[in-house]
Amino acid sequence: MEHLITKSRLLALLLLLGIAFTGCYNDSEEELYPEIPGSQCDLTSVTYSSTIAPIMATNCNSCHSGASASAGVVTNTYEGLSIIAKNGKLYGSVSHASGYSAMPQGGAMLSNCNLDKIKTWVDAGALNN
Ligand code: HEC
């Protein structure tokens, strides 16, 4: 009889562990996939190197790097990007604001989360961080 009780306790413990791990899995899913609708966009640790540069690499650098950069706009270096960040053209273009060239040219608008990250970085002074 005692043997049986120990077994069911073990079973209960395993069940609890299972629930605990499922909880952890869901938590990290939100962090790993911030683009899932309804999940949160993390704007607490936006930096040039870890946040903005990768967005530029994916969406802008193919046309805006090197000597033949479109419109003379360079997005693959901090020096180039900080110019359009500070004169308003970066956020104006990606948010498709009137009076700016809508970017990425011929492509889909950036996700709301990426737009918010760019705005956060620009508003904080477009630092080289
Ligand atoms: C497929 C090529 C292409 C991609 C990708 C692209 N651009 Fe452009 N971009 C251009 C061309 C061509 C122009 C010049 C014509 C115009 O203004 O529409 C331009 C113009 C601009 C201008 C306006 C410059 C001015 O003086 O008015 C800005 C700012 C800009 N791009 C930023 C970006 C950003 C930021 C991205 C990424 C989100 C991006 N572009 C992606 C081709 C591209």
Domain assignments of the chain as residue spans, ordered by start: 1-32, 48-123
CB count, 10 Å around CB of 98? 6
- Write out residues with Cβ below 6 Å of ligand 1: 59-60, 62-64, 70-71, 73, 75, 84, 89-90, 93-94, 101, 103-107
Tens of pLDDT along the chain (129 residues)?
Answer: 556 667 667 566 555 555 555 554 555 444 555 555 556 899 999 999 999 999 999 999 999 999 999 999 999 999 999 999 999 999 999 999 999 999 999 999 999 999 999 999 999 999 999
Secondary structure (3-state) at 38: coil
Cis status of the peptide bond prior to 37, with omega within 30 of 0: no
**pLDDT recorded at residue 9:** 72
**pLDDT recorded at residue 5:** 63
CB count, 10 Å around CB of 35? 10
Query: What distances in angstroms separate CA 57 from CA 19, 49, 76, 77, one per listed residue?
Result: 40, 11, 7, 10
Contact predicate 96/109, CB 8 Å: yes
Q: Whose CA is nearest to atom 14 of ligand 1?
A: 71
CB count, 10 Å around CB of 7? 10
